[in-house]
Amino acid sequence: MGKIAFVFPGQGSQYLGMGKELFQNYPSAERVFAEADHILGRDLSGLCFNGPEELLKKTENCQLAILTTSIAALQVLKAEGIEPDFVAGHSLGEYSALVAAGALDFATTLSLVAKRAQLMAGADPEGKGGMAAVLGLDRDSLTTCLKHEALSRMVFAANFNSPGQIVISGEKKALLKAKDLVEANGGKFIDLPVSGAFHSQFMREAADLFQKELAAVNFQEQEVPLISNVTAHPVNSWQLSEELYRQLFSSVLWEDTINYLLTAGVDTFIEVGPGKVLSGLTKKISRQVNLYQTQDLNSIKKILEILNKV
């Protein structure tokens, strides 16, 4: 067996009931949810388990909910003796990866994500920005589309998720023009239900404000390598503040991250947190890997049954 990577999902992976089975069956997970409720001074665990869904989907709630659910699943794996050789997270998921790497404790990370979510949610009060998934175009073809004069400095590549799946971000009127260009080149354009142009230059002001929060954080030496969203390479503790600042307005290089991990000898990817979005993306990058999730009790039991036999 090769090496193991823990990968942590980002915004959009939330769903009603996430983490509930872990909370009910594992004391280590229950403690994480209780800690989050105490730190935040509100019933985040109840929102994860029972909703309402419209409230859970809000940026300032779902980021905290996904982080907490992911760390609850992480603690279950650690209590069972499952440890990673590498960690990585998709956008918001990078904060869960920071905890898994030992760079930050959960309490500090929760407070940091609360501020991040607040700034991102308030970055576009007039609702001028948006995001869309582009399917069926490679990087070069999409880059050519984005160089069109109507899109220059208005639409950006936000997430390079997998071959043939790239998310773009920008001003809504320019996104309509991007739709025409994408479809004219044989691609598919899907609007995404988000509240702003995340991972684009439209997040620069929010990032500048967030940089002040990051400056006060003391990042510890990592216990396992963390692969950066911004560079798709390992990032050192002294680089984390700058990396997390740049992450808000830079492309998420997820396909590159998975390829780096494959080259480093990883053949087992465990998606630690709600859903299985990252498993689906990884399968499109390589079909020669083992993929596991932690979204419910059966998923956890499957991981323990298989990995404990190795």
Q: Is 239 exposed, middle or buried (0-12, 13-18, 19+ CB in 10 A)?
A: middle
Cα 191 to Cα 197: distance, rounded to the nearest angstrom: 12
Which of 45, 42, 47, 33 is CA-nearest to residue 106?
33
Catalytic-labelled residue, pool 91, 169, 228, 250:
91
Count Cα atoms within 13 angstroms, Cβ side, for 7: 32
Catalytic-labelled residue, pool 45, 96, 199, 279:
199
Q: Is 126 exposed, middle or buried (0-12, 13-18, 19+ CB in 10 A)?
A: exposed
Residue 83, CA distances (Å) to 91, 95, 194, 299 in order? 22, 18, 34, 16
Q: What angle do CA 213, 63, 236 make, to 5 degrees?
A: 50
**Known catalytic residue at 141:** no
Cα 271 to Cα 298: distance, rounded to the nearest angstrom: 14
**Known catalytic residue at 169:** no
Residues with a catalytic annotation lie at 91, 199
